[in-house]
Amino acid sequence: MSEAAVRVIGLWASPYVIRVLIALKLKGVEYEFVEEVVGKKSELLLRSNPVHKKIPVLLHHGKPVSESLVIVQYIDEVWSSSSSGGAPAAAILPADPYTRAVHRFWAQYADDKVPSAVRILKGTDAGDKEQAAGQLAAALQLLEQAFVELSHGKRYFGGDSVGYLDIALVSHVGWVKAVEKIAGVTLLDKAKVPNLVAWADRLCAHPAVADAIPDADKFVEYSVKNGLERRRWRGGARDRRVGEPLRHPRVCGAEAQGRGVRELAGVVGNKSELLLKSNPVHKKIPVLLHHGKPIAESMIILQYIDEVWGSDDVPAILQADPYERALQRFWAQYVDDKIAHASHVLRGVVNGDLDEAAAQVSTALQHLEEAFAKCGQGKSYFGGDDIGFLDIVLGSHLGWLKAVETIAGVKVLDETKLPELTAWAQRFYAHHAVRDVMPETDRLVQFNAYLIDVLKAKASSN
């Protein structure tokens, strides 16, 4: 029998898998579900997602796409019109770039806040259960407000139809309800988050969702049965994303599109009113203000810039081909997960093991050296003939990676080990949209020393 065109490697209980199944059902795409066995990662999974070795993986005509939110966007882009000859499937991502950015922001927020708290509440991760319940309740409260703003009195975050944020958030609902039972806490509380409770009930009854999210009792039973095995399956220690005090603004995306950008420099250690008002959730830079409307999170901003100012006259930041886009999104997220945190450790601005951080950066860059061959296909950049999404995301770390060589005394961009990447970095630095934006290494080294002093002074005054 021939292989199905669309296959999903997964486990029914994974929220990340659930969202992929919902997206496929919404689009009316037939798929084969290739179920993993808890405690034993299949050869197919290891081969298809060799970097993270995690589910879900979508195989489309054999080509793997990993990371659930990347997959959902891929599905939306590939099956953008009628796929089964019936009525055209509704778009998952909102059409308006600003609304898209807001959906992306809250989807990322939900993934940052919900699963970590759920893992503590169901006992898979160590941690204070009361604190986790409090953090989860606070996150749901913000999502309640986001629902009111985004739904405009309609049924879903996406308005009349199920959208990106609906899918991202509802996939966590099964586990949220399960931990209410496991830990004896009320999270989806009608008195506190009435709109969210009504939304969850509505969406869980939707035909594309009802089969994908089993009853809370099934999750509870699964948790009891597979707790230990799952921990082993996850392969030990989990990488923790640690928030960083301040980020260098990634503004070269706008430069590449030929826009002027006024840098609203915040004073280190003293966040401006404008920043606090514009990004009240994370209170982090960068924030792009467009006609006064704030957009936060650098990768979301890049996509916004591309969507708003994309034209035939300027090279697109994200390529047109959905698979290329998925690859760029996958690797960009990888860069921020692996390099950003490790680079902060090497700079001494967050605590951590220096050798471990150096090894992590080195492994990540080795992976990226290989990715360059796949994404760039012999051209100058990851994006092809001109710089694209991944070039900007990785390139914006280059300044600090060079500074880290001085600060921590480790060789990061080693030409003998990373010949492609080293040559790419030189090209990137020389690009007209980059050269004026990237700070000099000495300036970064000095700034780092200053930042550490400020952080120390703040710590001792607390």
Ligand X SMILES: N[C@@H](CCC(=O)N[C@@H](CS)C(=O)NCC(=O)O)C(=O)O
> Minimal CA–CA distance to 169: which of 195, 132, 196, 205?
196
Rule CB under 6 A: choose which of 23, 26, 59, 67 binds ligand X: 67
Q: In whole angstroms, how large is the CA radius of gyration of the chain?
A: 22
Could you say whether residue 234 binds ligand X (CB under 6 A)? yes
Write down the least CB distance from residue 265 to ligand X, Å: 32
Give residue for tokens 């830079």.
285
Write down the least CB distance from residue 39 to ligand X, Å: 11
54 or 177: whose CB is closer to ligand X? 54
223 or 257: whose CB is closer to ligand X? 223
Could you say whether residue 118 binds ligand X (CB under 6 A)? no
Write down the least CB distance from residue 381 to ligand X, Å: 26
Q: Quote the CA–CA distance of 398 and 271 in Å, as a whole number.
A: 25
Write down the least CB distance from residue 176 to ligand X, Å: 14
Q: Which long-range contacts (CB under 8 A, 24 or more apart) does 51-57 make?
A: 51/334, 51/367, 53/235, 54/16, 55/9, 55/10, 55/11, 55/14, 55/16, 55/17, 56/8, 56/9, 56/10, 56/14, 56/16, 56/17, 56/20, 57/8, 57/9, 57/10
114 or 252: whose CB is closer to ligand X? 114
Write down the least CB distance from residue 73 to ligand X, Å: 12
Write down the least CB distance from residue 143 to ligand X, Å: 18
Rule CB under 6 A: choose which of 4, 38, 53, 323 binds ligand X: 53
What residue is closest to ligand X based on CB? 54
In terms of C-beta density within 10 A (0-12 exposed, 13-18 middle, 19 or more buried), how is residue 287 classed? Answer: buried
- Separation of CA 126 from chain center: 24
68 or 343: whose CB is closer to ligand X? 68
51 or 246: whose CB is closer to ligand X? 51
Amino acid present at 410: V
154 or 238: whose CB is closer to ligand X? 238
Edge-to-edge strands, sheet with 63-66: 32-35, 6-10, 57-60, 63-66
* Interacting span for ligand X (CB under 6 A) from 62-70, 130-138, 163-171, 409-417: 62-70
Q: Is 185 helix (H, G, I), strand (E, B) or coil?
A: coil
* Interacting span for ligand X (CB under 6 A) from 47-55, 221-229, 243-251, 430-438: 47-55
Write down the least CB distance from residue 140 to ligand X, Å: 20
Task: Find residue 63's DSSP bridge partners.
Answer: 60
Q: Is 32 helix (H, G, I), strand (E, B) or coil?
A: strand
Rule CB under 6 A: choose which of 55, 182, 371, 437 binds ligand X: 55
User: DSSP of 387-426, one letter per residue?
Assistant: --HHHHHHHHHHHHHHHHHHHH----S-TTT-HHHHHHHH
14 or 151: whose CB is closer to ligand X? 14
Could you say whether residue 39 binds ligand X (CB under 6 A)? no
Write down the least CB distance from residue 248 to ligand X, Å: 24
Rule CB under 6 A: choose which of 16, 79, 304, 372 binds ligand X: 16
Q: Quote the CA–CA distance of 67 and 430 in Å, as a whole number.
A: 32
Measuring CA to CA, how many Å separate 390 from each of 224, 247, 272, 375, 395?
41, 18, 30, 9, 8
Could you say whether residue 409 binds ligand X (CB under 6 A)? no
Could you say whether residue 68 binds ligand X (CB under 6 A)? yes
Rule CB under 6 A: choose which of 235, 243, 258, 409 binds ligand X: 235
Parallel, antiparallel, or unpaired: how do β-strands 293-296 and 287-290 relate?
antiparallel
Could you say whether residue 231 binds ligand X (CB under 6 A)? no
* Interacting span for ligand X (CB under 6 A) from 50-58, 245-253, 395-403, 431-439: 50-58
Task: Find residue 384's DSSP bridge partners.
Answer: 381
Contacts of 337 (CB under 8 A, 6+ apart): 239, 241
Write down the least CB distance from residue 57 to ligand X, Å: 9
In terms of C-beta density within 10 A (0-12 exposed, 13-18 middle, 19 or more buried), how is residue 420 classed? Answer: middle
Near ligand X in 185-204, by CB under 6 A: none
# residues near ligand X by CB under 6 A: 12
Rule CB under 6 A: choose which of 6, 14, 275, 316 binds ligand X: 14
14 or 396: whose CB is closer to ligand X? 14
Write down the least CB distance from residue 404 to ligand X, Å: 26
- Phi, psi of 33, deg, nearest 5: -95, 115
Write down the least CB distance from residue 285 to ligand X, Å: 24
Cβ atoms of residues 353 and 361 within 8 Å: no
**Which residues bind to ligand X, rule: CB under 6 A?**
14, 16, 53-56, 67-69, 233-235
